[in-house]
Amino acid sequence: MPRSLLVLLLLVAAVAGSWLARSAMVRWRDLRAAQTYELAAEARPALVRAGAAALCLMCVSALGVAVLLGERGGVRQAVAAVEEGRSAGSADGAAASAPVSAAPVSASASASPSPSPVAFAAVGRAAGGELMQGAVPGPDGRARTVRVWLPAEYGRNATDRFPVIVLHSGTPGRTADADLPDVFDGVASAVQQGKARPFVVVAPEAPGGTGHPCDLVAAAPQAVADDAALRSAVGAAFRTLPAGPAGWSVLGVDGGAPCAAAAGLARPDLYGAAAAVSGRYDAKALTGAAAEAPGAVGARLLLAAAKRDTDGVASGRAVQAALRDAKSRAEVRTSEVVQDYTPERERLRLVRVAVQYLAEQLAK
């Protein structure tokens, strides 16, 4: 086999092995964090990546021996190729973890001086607005789906900037609107009734690797779905207010409610307010998340449930009492008066109440 081809194969194996090893370490840290808090987590992704990295290492060793059997000049060229592969692998890792990155991580992207922004394409219409979708790289380098709902008011003035609601999902690998397609109707109705200003709604795919993404957020607040890369991508593609508590909030409905509560309590530095609708909560875990929140500003959280949802009402009251007993800085309100003919109509009204609360709190 020509020596140049051996060097090329060696370079590819080194880069692939570096990326797989880094990805396996990330997955392993997530698994250890989940096990620490007795959360359900899958070890298979980490094991698969570790095995693939080991296979790449074997290939690098075999190819290295083949190249080293060549001439002395070939030896020096092989060493240079390996060092170049390591540099490319390190550049890929930096691109995946950079807080302002908005482009998918790849070997070609690491070579470009400035990554291109994420492209969002229209995938339909909902509640009078436009639904966009894009793919943003996650902490492990894997592209994740992000849906963005633009209200009808977005296209009426090309200079207006809009506050953001991050809509959390409680289903691994899915966006919240996939389980609750009518959630945008609740947001739009709050605006139509004059109870809130228009919001841009960002619905990121819930992280995988565990069957309980919301428990993971409570245990490790850095695991919020809208990390720095996602916020940068959204800010570059849409006319939103700058990321931060002055213009960004978080919402969760049903299965996503514990995610929103945990994110809001743990990260008041990211969200100006949080609202959780019809959820079931772990009061102890949420109290712990609130206690470790950065900064001196307390979180602002609304826990809303329909009047006939006795379990949801009791769960919300338990969280409120636990935070009060722990003397938490968090300001927690509950809403328990909504009732209507069907659960769907109650959910619509509860989302409307939640959006009104978020609008009021961001205006302060």
Instruction: Round the average pLDDT of the chain to a whole number and report it.
Output: 78
pLDDT mean over 15-38 = 65
pLDDT at 355 over 80: yes
| Buried-state track 3-16, b at ≥16 Cβ within 10 A, e below 16 | beebbebbbbbbbb
Confidence of residue 352 (pLDDT cuts 50, 70, 90): very high
Instruction: Give the residue numbers spanning the domain of 8.
Output: 3-97
Nearest Cα to 67, choosing from 53, 56, 57, 81? 81
Which H or E run includes 277?
strand 274-277
Token reading at 47: 């094991």
pLDDT mean over 198-211 = 85
β-strand partners of 204: 146
Higher pLDDT, 65 or 195: 195
pLDDT at 161 over 90: yes
CA–CA separation, 228 and 97 (whole Å):
9
Residues 188 and 47 in one domain: no
Residue with tokens 């390996």: 82
User: Going along 53-182, which residue ranges are E strands?
Assistant: 121-126, 129-137, 143-150, 164-168
Residues 312 and 189 in one domain: yes
Neighbours of 94 (CB within 10 A): 12
Token reading at 257: 């409610």
| φ and ψ of 253, to 5 deg | -125, 135
Confidence of residue 220 (pLDDT cuts 50, 70, 90): low
> Contact at 8 Å (CB) between 186 and 347?
yes
pLDDT at 119 over 80: yes
Q: Hey, what's the torsion of the CAs at 229, 235, 104, 223, to 10 degrees?
A: 30
Domain boundary among 97, 129, 154: 97
Residues 210 and 346 in one domain: yes
pLDDT mean over 29-36 = 60
Residues 139 and 44 in one domain: no
Nearest Cα to 316, choosing from 286, 344, 295? 286
Residues 43 and 140 in one domain: no
pLDDT at 86 over 50: no
Residues 289 and 240 in one domain: yes
Q: At what angle do helices 183-192 and 343-362 cross, to 10 degrees?
A: 60
Higher pLDDT, 353 or 98: 353
| Buried-state track 114-136, b at ≥16 Cβ within 10 A, e below 16 | ebeebebeeeeebbebbbbbbbb
Residues 44 and 125 in one domain: no
What is the pTM assigned to this prediction?
0.67
> Contact at 8 Å (CB) between 150 and 129?
yes
> Contact at 8 Å (CB) between 246 and 240?
no
Indicate whether 116 belongs to any domain.
no
CA–CA separation, 80 and 83 (whole Å):
5
Residues 262 and 188 in one domain: yes
Residue type, 135: A
CATH number at 295 reads 3.40.50.1820
pLDDT at 76: 40
| φ and ψ of 274, to 5 deg | -140, 150
Indicate whether 209 belongs to any domain.
yes
Domain boundary among 97, 130, 153: 97
Indicate whether 111 belongs to any domain.
no
Q: How many domains does the chain have?
A: 2
Residue with tokens 């995988």: 208
pLDDT at 339: 87
Token reading at 72: 């002395």
